[in-house]
Amino acid sequence: MLLDHKIALVTGASRGIGAAIAKGLAQQGAIVIVNYLKNHEKANATVADITASGGQAVAIPCDVRSDAAIQAMITEVLNNFGAIDILVNNAFAPFAFDPKHRRLFGDTTWADFQAQIDGSLKASHYLTQALLPAFKRQQYGRVINITTNLTQNPVIPYHDYIAAKSAVLGWTRSAAVELGAYGIRVNAIAPGLTYPTDASRTTHRDVRDAIIAQTPTGRLTKPADIAGAAVFLASALADNITGQCLFVDGGLTMN
């Protein structure tokens, strides 16, 4: 399998895209740390799904917006597993993708931006920094950041969310430049509207249909599509790929 004996930490992995990525990595042989904030029941369900399929996983709660909480989680994982090889920064601050009730530009406060930045960029930065000594010691690391195709094609202007994810993309590229010499690859995945997930359920059917009509593959992205991209970027197949953003949206966004 592609990820035999690798240790993977996936943030926000109790449901949706994160859970799909955790399951996809485990299917390829990785031992997966299922990080979650509060939903103990769903995190354990993700672990149960993985172990039922013959994989290995454990659930660990941690607020990835807190540097101290991250340090404690990383120490716990390293003490128990000896290494972390793959980090998937999937967690983000709560956000409802509801185009008909979105916050308009004039009503968006800096606190709204800050909440999204803390949930995405701050979390990704703290986690990667915490793992950097271990990555450097082993001269190996894979960091995969989840952003959005809205940074390139903001068909619905979710201002605070898009700004935070755009920052993650810039951070991905700058980190890749510096860390490549240590065997650390830093890449991003930009999903299109991914359905079904809890966050996307508020995107109305007419909006989903309009996006499908513009998409060459004729369908929305599924969580399993994102998982496949993450497995690729985490594996040796992508060993000489860094600083890239892989758009997974059925061709709606083309670079």
Known catalytic residues? 161
Rounded distance between C-alpha atoms, residue 208 and residue 78, angstroms? 42
Residue whose C-alpha is closest to residue 200's, from 62, 64, 131, 98? 98
Q: Rounded to whole angstroms, how far apart are CA atoms 190 and 247? A: 5
Q: Which amino acid is at 196?
A: P
Answer whether 171's CB lies under 8 Å from 144's CB: no
By DSSP bridging, strand 31-36 and strand 56-61 are: parallel
CA distance 134 to 200: 36
Q: Phi, psi (5° rounding) for residue 154?
A: -75, 70
